[in-house]
């Protein structure tokens, strides 16, 4: 029988119901007597809330009515879209009509929108702040002064990794139902156990001691559905208060205003290089615009900035670094996790530094990476305290170099025809796969294997990969495995899906639970046959001994007759994390007349350890790279000076369509494995991290000008071409 791990299996678990139009999302969940919740949100980025007047007789609740629950603005709104009140009605349209009748009296306050203005502290993002700089950190290694003293060339600039909006296909929403004893919540979330734990902390005083959270099908998330949002908590409370099912679902504009944004970091730096292009040292200030000053959120989000600062050494030999990290509050939507969460910013900054250095020195961009790359690592701690489990970086460059030269050849052919063509390259600084994952594997009486995961995949195809792992251990076809997930009733505990964690950590839990279940079944069969377990051979889904043969179904029934339940649960903890890496490169053409950019070719060479399913992995590369390209070329979050979100829907906020999808050639290198049972490292974030600087470098090469901001819009390119 062919091995299942490493086989490109289509998503046989997730896709059939979606293809047939039978996927059930939050909005599809309805109960008789449901009340629809519509949230009244602040029209101002910063304002005192003087009064809120609800329509007479309406089911309408403000923060004053809900004193023990966080989330609603009470006396001061600190970003546009912040929830102030909620109305309920038996019809969604009636609820919206009632919401329009709610009268809010504001006293507008000065809004802090520009981060440079925020640093001056003339205006505060919240009245009780002593300073808009709410968090600080410092990362310092080596002798930076000596590095600059010995420098042949010093490159100085400010590079901006702009604010983006995660833009999941499905907005956030939830349905809550309380039967008088038990609260059940269906939510478009990445974090069912986190939501359950939060509700169990907040609602026992209202008679709720039993909570079930279910994740139905989810139309995308990219990190933006990790947080426990106030709407989820409030509709759960209202279901208890009213005794009615409560349903809430964001409009697109509400989603853009109230769901966490991503990125929004800038680095002001000086970098010291020697004559050959060796990076001697970096000194700078990394500023993160945290958005609205909500302590419970920004204290967590600031970790992305400190991670970016510590990952600033990349995969390079950087021995001198001095970076001040500032977390700055403004009156914009709060920043939270978004595909990569700190690692895209780190990669962008170090790769920009190298490319700007290469341009200043007249060195090829690939060559400057060869000069600075670490050769090979195994359980390596960087000078800044980051950990790389394994990597063969110089070997990766050797493998990728012919492809780079092929792109240069194509570029030069285009240039000979008078075209503006350029090639870009970037190396990924990524850490992935964190925490603990739990899985339960059981053998059903009909001989099928059932896997239950504590993770909550939402489109990545992890369930199919879990089935492959179990099928590998039991030497059966993957079609004989069922996988369940996304329900807190199914398994005792679990984790959130994020950080490229689910397959590596959750899959390792499936692997270990499967091994233990097979060993248990060998003992059962041995006892039935009256022989030692080690005398029983298991092969191709059957137990063999000269005294007899048993199928998996026979073993399941025999175990139950013995009072042995044929299942095993295992929690796998990874310490500390994995470090996938890769090198991406692209060829672009810039239109001289319009400034538009077309990606002609994109090549990715990634080392993510063992690939359980190459089809799923390549799908992540295609989607992830396009997401990174989107940040480089299209996505721009724009606020008015008063703090109104101008790019509040897809008419104004540009993301690529199928027409902008690019040709991608992906190669899995598998040079270095992780120490997990699977040997995998994680791939969900890596292509997004790589693509943004790769494309920017290609555009720079095409137009022969340095670029410091994103997106590289047509008007920016034309301005640079004419300067």
Express each pLDDT in 15-49 by its tens digit: 999 999 999 999 999 999 999 999 999 999 999 99
How much is the average pLDDT of 130-143? 98
In the predicted model, is pLDDT for residue 70 greater than 80? no
- CA distances 703 to 85, 366, 629, 698, Å, are 51, 18, 18, 9
Please give the pLDDT value at position 678. Answer: 96
Please give the pLDDT value at position 396. Answer: 97
Residues 6+ apart with CB under 8 A from 26: 170, 173, 174, 175, 186, 187, 188, 216, 249
Confirm if 88 and 37 have CB atoms less than 8 A apart. Answer: yes
> Which residue is it, tokens 């925490």?
435
How much is the average pLDDT of 69-92? 92
d(CA 583, CA 305): 23
Tokens of 114: 């520009």
Omega cis (within 30) before 576: yes
Q: What is the DSSP track for 643-700?
A: --BS--STTTS----GGG---EEEEE---S--SSSS-B---SSHHHHHHHHHHHHHHH
d(CA 573, CA 575): 7
Predicted confidence band of residue 486 (pLDDT cuts 50, 70, 90): very high
d(CA 510, CA 462): 11
Please give the pLDDT value at position 189. Answer: 97
**Dihedral Cα 195, 196, 197, 201, nearest 10 deg:** 100
d(CA 86, CA 40): 6
Predicted confidence band of residue 65 (pLDDT cuts 50, 70, 90): confident
Express each pLDDT in 324-342 by its tens digit: 999 999 999 999 999 999 9
- Distance of alpha carbon 367 from the chain centroid: 31
In the predicted model, is pLDDT for residue 76 greater than 90? yes
Tokens of 313: 């050494």
d(CA 349, CA 270): 12
d(CA 9, CA 615): 7
> Which residue is it, tokens 């022969």?
704
How much is the average pLDDT of 534-548? 93
* Residue (of 705, 700, 722, 714) closest to 597 by Cα position: 714
SS (H, E, C) 509-524: HHHHHHHHHHHHHHHH
Please give the pLDDT value at position 14. Answer: 94
d(CA 691, CA 161): 13
Provide the mean pLDDT of the chain.
Answer: 96
d(CA 184, CA 178): 6
How much is the average pLDDT of 221-249? 96
How much is the average pLDDT of 635-644? 97
Confirm if 350 and 307 have CB atoms less than 8 A apart. Answer: no
* Residue (of 347, 397, 269) closest to 692 by Cα position: 347
Q: What is the DSSP track for 136-172?
A: EEEEEES-HHHHHHT-SEEEEEEEEEEEE----SSPP
In the predicted model, is pLDDT for residue 2 greater than 60? no
How much is the average pLDDT of 165-169? 96
In the predicted model, is pLDDT for residue 5 greater than 70? yes
Please give the pLDDT value at position 429. Answer: 86
Confirm if 106 and 43 have CB atoms less than 8 A apart. Answer: yes
Predicted confidence band of residue 543 (pLDDT cuts 50, 70, 90): very high
In the predicted model, is pLDDT for residue 1 greater than 90? no
Express each pLDDT in 400-451 by its tens digit: 999 999 999 999 999 999 999 999 999 998 999 999 999 999 999 999 999 9
How much is the average pLDDT of 74-101? 96
């Amino acid at each position: 029988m062919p091995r299942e791990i490493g086989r490109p299996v289509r998503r046989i678990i997730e896709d059939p119901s979606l293809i047939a139009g039978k996927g059930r999302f939050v909005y599809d969940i309805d109960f008789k007597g449901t009340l629809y919740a519509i949230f009244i949100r602040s029209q101002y980025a910063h304002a005192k809330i003087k009064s809120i007047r609800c329509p007479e007789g309406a089911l309408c609740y403000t923060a004053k009515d809900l004193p023990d629950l966080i989330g609603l603005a009470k006396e001061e709104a600190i970003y546009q879209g912040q929830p102030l009140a909620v109305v309920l009605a038996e019809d969604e349209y009636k609820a919206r009509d009632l919401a329009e009748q709610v009268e809010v009296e504001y006293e507008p306050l000065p809004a802090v929108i520009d981060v440079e203005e925020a640093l001056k502290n003339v205006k505060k993002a919240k009245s009780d702040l002593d300073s808009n700089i709410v968090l600080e950190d410092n990362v310092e290694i080596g002798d930076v002064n000596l590095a600059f003293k010995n420098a042949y060339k010093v490159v100085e600039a400010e590079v901006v990794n702009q604010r983006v909006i995660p833009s999941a296909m499905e907005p956030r929403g939830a349905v809550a139902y309380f039967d008088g004893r038990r609260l059940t919540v269906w939510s478009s979330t990445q974090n069912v156990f986190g939501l359950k734990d939060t509700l169990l902390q907040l609602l026992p005083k209202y008679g709720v001691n039993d909570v079930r959270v279910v994740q139905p099908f989810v139309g995308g998330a990219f990190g933006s559905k990790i947080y426990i949002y106030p709407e989820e908590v409030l509709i759960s409370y209202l279901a208890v208060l009213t005794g009615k099912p409560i349903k809430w679902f964001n409009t697109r504009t509400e989603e853009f205003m109230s769901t966490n944004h991503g990125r929004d970091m800038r680095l002001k730096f000086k970098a010291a290089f020697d004559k050959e292009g060796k990076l001697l040292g970096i000194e700078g200030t990394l500023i993160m615009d945290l958005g609205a000053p909500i302590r419970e959120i920004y204290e967590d989000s600031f970790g992305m900035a400190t991670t970016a600062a510590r990952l600033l050494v990349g995969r390079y030999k950087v021995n001198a670094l001095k970076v001040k990290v500032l977390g700055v509050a403004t009156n914009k939507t709060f920043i939270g996790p978004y595909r990569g969460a700190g690692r895209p910013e780190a990669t962008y900054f170090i790769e920009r530094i190298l490319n700007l250095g290469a341009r200043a020195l007249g060195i090829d961009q690939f060559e400057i990476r060869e000069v600075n790359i670490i050769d090979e690592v195994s359980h390596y701690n960087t000078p800044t305290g980051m950990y790389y489990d394994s990597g063969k970086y110089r070997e990766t460059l050797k493998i990728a170099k012919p492809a780079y030269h092929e792109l240069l050849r194509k570029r030069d052919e285009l240039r000979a025809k008078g075209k503006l063509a350029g090639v870009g390259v970037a190396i990924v600084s990524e850490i992935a796969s964190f925490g603990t994952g739990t899985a339960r594997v059981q053998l059903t009486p009909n001989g099928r294997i059932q896997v239950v995961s504590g993770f909550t995949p939402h489109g990545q195809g992890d369930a199919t990969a879990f089935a492959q792992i179990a099928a590998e251990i039991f030497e059966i076809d993957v079609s004989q495995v069922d996988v369940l997930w996304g329900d807190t009733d199914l398994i005792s505990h679990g984790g959130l899906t994020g950080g490229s964690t689910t397959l590596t950590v959750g899959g390792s839990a499936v692997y270990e639970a499967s091994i233990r279940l097979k060993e248990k079944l060998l003992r059962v069969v041995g006892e039935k046959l009256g022989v030692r377990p080690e005398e029983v051979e298991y092969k191709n889904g059957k137990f063999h001994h000269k005294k007899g043969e048993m199928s998996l179904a026979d073993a399941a029934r025999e175990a139950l007759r013995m009072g042995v339940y044929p299942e095993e649960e295992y929690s796998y903890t990874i310490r500390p994390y994995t470090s996938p890496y890769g090198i991406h490169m692209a060829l672009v053409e810039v239109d001289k007349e319009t400034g538009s950019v077309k990606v002609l070719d994109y090549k990715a060479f990634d080392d993510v350890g063992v690939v359980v399913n190459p089809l799923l992995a390549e799908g992540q590369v295609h989607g992830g790279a396009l997401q990174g390209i989107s940040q480089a070329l299209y996505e721009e979050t724009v606020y008015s000076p008063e703090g109104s979100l101008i790019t509040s829907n897809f008419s104004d906020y540009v993301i690529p369509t199928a027409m902008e999808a690019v040709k991608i050639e992906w190669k899995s290198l598998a040079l270095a494995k992780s120490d997990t049972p699977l040997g995998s490292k994680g791939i969900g974030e890596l292509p997004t991290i790589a693509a943004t600087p790769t494309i920017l470098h290609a555009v720079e090469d095409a137009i022969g000008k340095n670029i410091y901001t994103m997106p590289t819009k047509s008007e920016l390119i034309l301005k640079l071409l004419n300067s």
